[in-house]
Structure 1
Amino acid sequence: MRAIVVQKFGATPELADVPVPEAGAGEVQVALDAAGVNPFDLKMADGILDGKMPTDFPMILGVDGAGTVSAIGSGVTKFKVGDKVVGKFLTAPAGHGSWAQYSTVPEDATLVSIPDGVTTVAAAALPVAGVTAQDLVDAAQIQPGQTVLIVGATGGVGSFLVQLANIAGGHVIATARGDATDQVARLGASETVDYTQIRPDDPNFNDPDPAVHRDSSVTDAVRFTHPDGIDVLFDLISAPGDFARHASLVKRGGRAYSITWAADEAVLHDQGIAGGNFQSKGGSPELSRLLARVAAGDVVVPVQLTVPLEAAPAVLGTGGARGKTVLAI
């Protein structure tokens, strides 16, 4: 079968012909129709799992995948051949991912049925980014009327997070380029901050460092419109310095989360802010809940780009995404 693999950590991802995996006891074999692309996929190729999880090589990349159950191993009771399913194809040993024509996964892993009305392309975009967004909203316990700043609102996680925070009743402030304002507004943002703009009266106006401009634009703009502060910060992209400045907008008693491990949790605690560095641990229940919202039309799956499997190396790690990239297998 065709698959996208690396021969060792740090190697260049490539299209290869590898054996079709068989479903062992308690396992489900899935004929994959579509696979999601996430920043974590590049980290896998570069070696983030080295020393943390046993890995088989050649390592087939990909975590998110959707397709049809094509075989089941002995003892499987949750699924049958022909079921449409979606899930996370990352279990020990790693290296048997979703960027392939077939993959196997234990039936008790994150694997759920796809409801009627949801395509496999849409489903494949959900597991990592969508569940992370769902977990963040659950952790923040957003109350109706609370002010929520989302830094990095147009990416995969951000596109879901804008919608889910809005559904929870939050007043969503989204950072985005000016030409993406309509996009995030349609997803549920009440305000948009164009992080590429900076006012001439800003003390950093003449600073040549574009990073200074971005942070100044976001922090000053939000402070100007919300001088009393915000309730919740979801920062999906920032390094520690920018995260700390964004967190300065959060009221005492509020919450601030980083998914890039940029938070100094001791400092947040001293400032009376809950949250910190966040790692999604959501599984099948959260994915099923999200799929139900998609099926009901409450959540839109923002697929920006669909490309064939062999194009995966070209799109791996590309920045500036506005929504999700999905591989058509």
Structure 2
Amino acid sequence: MKKVSFAEFGGPDVLHLIDADEPHAGPGRIRVAVRAAGVNPFDWRLREGQFRTTRPIELPSGLGLDAAGVVDEVGEGVEGVEVGDRVFGEGTSTYAEFAVLSAWARMPEGLTFEEAAGYPSVMETALRVIGETGVRAGQTLLVSGASGGVGSAVLQIARDRGITVIGTAGAANQDYLRGLGALATTYGAGWVERVRRLGHVDAALDLAGSGVLRELVELTGDPRKVVSIADPSAPEFGVRFSGAAGSVPDALAETVRLLALGRLHIPVEKSYPLAEAAAAHTDSQAGHTRGRRVLTV
């Protein structure tokens, strides 16, 4: 099978499409013929070697956590899913023609493989970090870097829970944030005062790692009300750095629920063939994403 792999840490150019042995579904797992794989910032941070001390991997290594596809192997002990089912979920080395998933759900009717591949990790992350801030219905959550995949999910989950959101993003994404129910403003000079004019902030999320933790603590008045998924210096400010994954099955179940109610939609900004994984990483690292980027097989 074809698989994206890297044999050394570095830039996007270390990614190569290679021939590899097919994986197989062990106990409690399923294998899918991948139709689309989600591209996450975690993927290029792993490729760069940012986690080599905290999450060591053996090289050469595959990439990818999220996938949508058609079940073609069912492992021992797995119930409720059959060969031929269309599913989306999370596994390992999903930038490939076949991948093994450890958590999955049936794809809702009307959802494309490209759309489905964009949900698993971002929904798990969004649900986790909202919970870690402790923000509640009737309160206001500030989201720095709100237009990407996780931000798009956070805004819609918050709206469903009765939480007001103030989102920061580039000028081109202001209407996009407002369309998701957020009070929107741009980042850059004077952004703190622009946020203050929009309302009191009860909690804050840093999704972009753009060096704003000091200001987020200032706006909330308490570092315990700030959570970052993108700035490893967070502990220096007394801020929680959220890295340990929560329940992916629960996140998939909530995804299906919100999709069924018409309360969730994360657009796919761009799809790339598997052979263009390097270009997908380059674009993801450049930021300013509106929604998700995915690889198609």
Question: What TM-score do you get using the length of structure 2 for normalisation?
Answer: 0.88
Structure 2 counterpart of 1:198: none
Structure 1 counterpart of 2:240: 276
Task: Give the counterpart letter for 2:242 in structure 1.
Answer: F
Find out whether 1:326 has 2:290 as its counterpart.
no
Change in 2 beyond 3 A, CA 1:232/1:177? same
Mapped contact 1:261–1:278 kept (Cα < 8 A): no
Change in 2 beyond 3 A, CA 1:77/1:55? farther
How many residues in Structure 1 have an aligned counterpart in Structure 2?
291
Find out whether 1:101 has 2:78 as its counterpart.
no
SS in 2 for 1:21: coil
Inter-partner Cα distance in structure 1 for 2:149 and 2:174: 16
Task: Give the counterpart letter for 1:304 in structure 2.
Answer: E
Gapped regions of structure 1 (runs ≥ 5): 91-96, 196-213, 269-274
Structure 2 counterpart of 1:304: 269
Inter-partner Cα distance in structure 1 for 2:226 and 2:56: 33
Mapped contact 2:213–2:234 kept (Cα < 8 A): no
Structure 1 counterpart of 2:15: 13
Root-mean-square deviation (CA, aligned residues, Å) is 2.4
1:156-205: CA deviation from partner (whole Å, max 9, x where unpaired): 1111111112222122111122221111111111x21112xxxxxxxxxx
Task: Give the counterpart letter for 1:62 in structure 2.
Answer: G
Within 5 Å, which residues of 2 pair with 1:31-180?
31-50=33-52, 55=57, 57-90=59-92, 97-105=93-101, 109-180=102-173
SS in 1 for 2:190: helix
Task: Give the counterpart letter for 1:296 in structure 2.
Answer: L
CA displacement at 1:130 relative to structure 2: 2.0
Could you say which structure has the larger radius of gyration?
A: 1
1:202-231: CA deviation from partner (whole Å, max 9, x where unpaired): xxxxxxxxxxxx2x42212123443xx411
Inter-partner Cα distance in structure 1 for 2:82 and 2:56: 29
Structure 2 counterpart of 1:230: 201
CA displacement at 1:34 relative to structure 2: 0.6
CA displacement at 1:47 relative to structure 2: 2.9
Task: Give the counterpart letter for 2:6 in structure 1.
Answer: V
CA displacement at 1:263 relative to structure 2: 6.0
Structure 1 counterpart of 2:257: 292
Structure 2 counterpart of 1:313: 278
CA displacement at 1:49 relative to structure 2: 5.0
SS in 2 for 1:179: helix
Task: Give the counterpart letter for 1:116 in structure 2.
Answer: E
CA displacement at 1:245 relative to structure 2: 1.4
CA displacement at 1:100 relative to structure 2: 0.6
CA displacement at 1:83 relative to structure 2: 1.8
1:267-304: CA deviation from partner (whole Å, max 9, x where unpaired): 54xxxxxx622224231112221122123211012211
1:244-268: CA deviation from partner (whole Å, max 9, x where unpaired): 1122011459721111245655854
CA displacement at 1:316 relative to structure 2: 0.7
Find out whether 1:249 has 2:219 as its counterpart.
yes
SS in 2 for 1:230: coil
Inter-partner Cα distance in structure 1 for 2:150 and 2:207: 8
Inter-partner Cα distance in structure 1 for 2:96 and 2:57: 17
Change in 2 beyond 3 A, CA 1:81/1:225? closer
Change in 2 beyond 3 A, CA 1:252/1:15? closer
Inter-partner Cα distance in structure 2 for 1:249 and 1:84: 44
Inter-partner Cα distance in structure 1 for 2:171 and 2:280: 24
Q: Percent identity, please.
A: 31
Find out whether 1:3 has 2:3 as its counterpart.
yes
Displaced runs of 4+ in structure 1, greater than 6 A? Answer: none
Inter-partner Cα distance in structure 2 for 1:101 and 1:326: 14
Change in 2 beyond 3 A, CA 1:277/1:254? closer
Find out whether 1:219 has 2:221 as its counterpart.
no
Inter-partner Cα distance in structure 2 for 1:267 and 1:44: 24
Inter-partner Cα distance in structure 2 for 1:253 and 1:50: 28
Inter-partner Cα distance in structure 2 for 1:137 and 1:243: 17
Inter-partner Cα distance in structure 2 for 1:253 and 1:47: 28
Find out whether 1:24 has 2:20 as its counterpart.
no
Question: What TM-score do you get using the length of structure 1 for normalisation?
Answer: 0.80
Task: Give the counterpart letter for 1:313 in structure 2.
Answer: A
